[in-house]
Amino acid sequence: MTRQTRLKTPGIPGTRVLIIVQNLPVPLDRRVWLECQALQSQGYSVSVICPKGPGDPAREIIDGIAIYKYRPAPEATGALGFAIEFALCWIRTAALSLVVRRERGFDVIQACNPPDTYWLLGLLWRRFGVRFIFDHHDLNPELFLSRFGQPRGVAARFQYKTLLWLERMTFRVADHVISTNDSYRAIAIRRGKLKHSQVTVVRSGPDTRVMRPIQPFAEVGLMQESLLVYLGIMGPQDNVDKVLDVMSLLVHERERKDVRAVLMGFGDCLEALQAQCTSLGLDPYVHFTGRVGPETIANYLSAGDIGLGPDEKTPLNDLSTMNKTMEYMAYALPSVSFDLAETRVSGDASAIYVPSGNIEAFADAVERLLDDPAARADLGRAARARVASQLDWQHQAQAYVRVFDTVLGREQNAVRAAAWPFANVGVPDDDRRIDLDDANAYGEFLLNRGRRHPLPATVESIAATTRA
């Protein structure tokens, strides 16, 4: 990615988009970054407002996309803490929207949730002719139910009804809603009272030209232990503690000393998970990478034997698309997950599903795959074929850009139509990429995951790859 600092480059009226995201910095938020690239490739001028990540500058242009970042609010606890966090982020975002308007301009705002608070900003800017698109990433009422159960007290009922009201107002103000899957679309139509024509499904599929198997770095490529991998946020609803329960069962009760796990990601529960890992005596077998970039992710998802989906069945998880599942699939990695409706939609027959919360069944499925390389290869091949042919971002991006063309009344001319796939978004030329068109090379990779000369490995040698 190329980086610049000069942001004062106004776009052509009718093509200027401002994207607001509070949950993650950009370009770390993979879905939002792919959306930015899709719009830019089709002639749109794209600006983003998001929180800073560690070490991030306040202003920069990456690959022609202007990013304005604010200092994130202090970590919140409790209902009052979250209200303060949302208010601070809203105010800082609103202030930056004035800067973006002056320096680059925008004709449409796309707001990504959580939280469901930016409808008010969209409503204020509507007075100046700005349209509002809602990119529906999370079901906040279902998140509340998943974490706290059905509200019973006065305070809990008030919080839950407030979340429903904020969601309803977001749907009402939006000129168009983008849903991440059909379950979310159904909620937008039912709870939001929207017409079918007002809601478009754009799945968070990976760009499989970029996310594809590679020859792992030597530190991992030389290991002989089986490698389990997890990729994702580590929050209360993500149930990453179940990975540690599975590892404890495999290592201590079933004496599988040949298994290692790498957990990639960060979140509110990271420190608690590290403490749990130590208390379970799993430190020699489990490595936490923290926040990592695309190269490290590609390395571990290529070297891994099995991807893990520990998300339990809750009102939120059951209806949500797990990006990790499709990212595992992009690297031809078989996976084991708890049985969720939308996870089955993503993985179909290329993954193994077990009853939610059943650690014994999860460990059984992992062991069966560990002991059957041919079955792992078959699932990996099916996973890559499905994600590349049906879930790939290139297919989703056209529906995504079409929303903006429609809302802004912009014709899709022949020149822009010919730009698919993204002509101006280069695919890295990495000589470690596995040739998926070479049946022998691909078949060998699926069986050994790039292991060339097996040698004993430790968690310390795996961790060295993260630091490299």
pLDDT in tens, 420-452: 555 444 455 567 899 999 999 999 999 999 876
Alpha helices in 251-314 (DSSP H): 270-279, 294-303
**pLDDT higher than 70, residue 467:** no
Residue 409 lies in a domain: no
Ramachandran assignment for 239, one of left (phi > 0), alpha (psi -120 to 50 degrees), beta (any other) = left
CATH at 272 = 3.40.50.2000
CA distance 8 to 15: 16
Residue 420 lies in a domain: no
Q: Are residues 240 and 92 in the same domain?
A: no
How many residues comprise the chain? 468
User: Domains in the chain: how many in total?
Assistant: 2
**pLDDT higher than 70, residue 413:** no
Residue 17: the pLDDT is: 98
Averaged pLDDT for residues 186-213: 95
Residue 408 lies in a domain: no
CA distance 330 to 229: 14
- Which run of H or of E encompasses 396? helix 393-407
Q: Sorting pLDDT into bands at 50, 70 and 90, what band is 73?
A: confident
Of 4-13, 300-309, 338-347, the one with minimum mean pLDDT is: 4-13
| pLDDT tens-digit series, residues 86-139 | 899 999 999 999 999 999 999 999 999 999 999 999 999 999 999 999 999 999
User: The tokens of 139 are what?
Assistant: 């079901």
**Nearest in space to 289 (alpha carbons), one of 259, 331, 261:** 261
Residue 51: the pLDDT is: 96
Q: Are residues 369 and 245 in the same domain?
A: yes
- Which run of H or of E encompasses 13? none
CA distance 300 to 313: 26
End residue of a domain, out of 177, 202, 227: 202
More confident residue, 147 or 7: 147
Give one DSSP letter per residue of 149-189, joined into a string.
-S--SHHHHHHHHHHHHHHHHHHHH-SEEEESSHHHHHHHH
Q: Are residues 67 and 177 in the same domain?
A: yes
The whole-model pTM stands at 0.86
Give one DSSP letter per residue of 28-76, joined into a string.
TSHHHHHHHHHHHHTT-EEEEEEE--TT--SEEEETTEEEEEEPPPPPP
Q: In sequence order, what are the beta bridge partners of 262?
A: 229, 287
Q: Sorting pLDDT into bands at 50, 70 and 90, what band is 416?
A: low
**pLDDT higher than 80, residue 229:** yes
End residue of a domain, out of 202, 230, 262: 202
User: The tokens of 137 are what?
Assistant: 């990433």
CA distance 19 to 42: 16
Residue 411 lies in a domain: no
CA distance 137 to 468: 33
CA distance 352 to 332: 14
CA distance 20 to 67: 10
Q: Are residues 23 and 145 in the same domain?
A: yes
Averaged pLDDT for residues 402-419: 77
**Residue with token string 């968070």:** 204
Q: Are residues 147 and 226 in the same domain?
A: no
Residue 460: the pLDDT is: 55
**pLDDT higher than 80, residue 195:** yes
On the CB side of 282, CA atoms within 13 Å amount to 28
pLDDT winner (highest mean) among 102-111, 293-302, 414-423? 102-111
**pLDDT higher than 50, residue 457:** no
**pLDDT higher than 50, residue 456:** no
Q: What domain range includes position 376? A: 218-389+432-467
Averaged pLDDT for residues 358-379: 97
Q: Sorting pLDDT into bands at 50, 70 and 90, what band is 389?
A: very high
User: The tokens of 75 are what?
Assistant: 């970590």
Q: Are residues 195 and 254 in the same domain?
A: no
Residue 208 lies in a domain: no
Residue 425: the pLDDT is: 45
CA distance 185 to 41: 26
| pLDDT tens-digit series, residues 239-278 | 999 999 999 999 999 999 999 999 999 988 999 999 999 9
Question: In which order are the strands placed within the sheet that holds 259-264?
Answer: 286-290, 259-264, 226-231, 306-309, 335-338, 352-354
Residue 76: the pLDDT is: 65
Q: Are residues 240 and 335 in the same domain?
A: yes
Residue 396 lies in a domain: no
Q: Are residues 269 and 191 in the same domain?
A: no
Contact 16, 44 (CB under 8 A): yes
Cis previous bond, 315, omega within 30: no
End residue of a domain, out of 143, 171, 202: 202
Q: Are residues 88 and 175 in the same domain?
A: yes
Q: Are residues 177 and 254 in the same domain?
A: no
Residues 6+ apart with CB under 8 A from 233: 265, 266, 267
Residue 193: the pLDDT is: 96
Contact 207, 118 (CB under 8 A): no
Give one DSSP letter per residue of 321-389, joined into a string.
--HHHHHHHHTT--EEEE--HHHHHHHGGGSEEE-TT-HHHHHHHHHHHHT-HHHHHHHHHHHHHHIII
Residues 6+ apart with CB under 8 A from 400: 35, 38, 39, 178, 200, 202
Q: Are residues 141 and 252 in the same domain?
A: no
Residue 284 lies in a domain: yes
Residue 213 lies in a domain: no
CA distance 160 to 139: 12
Residue 85: the pLDDT is: 85
Residue 422: the pLDDT is: 55
Residue 218: the pLDDT is: 66
Burial 253-287 (b: 16+ CB within 10 A, else e): eeebeebbbbbbbbbebbeebbebbeebebeebbb
Q: Are residues 189 and 320 in the same domain?
A: no
Instruction: Tell how far CA 146 is from the center of its chain.
Output: 19
CA distance 44 to 61: 15
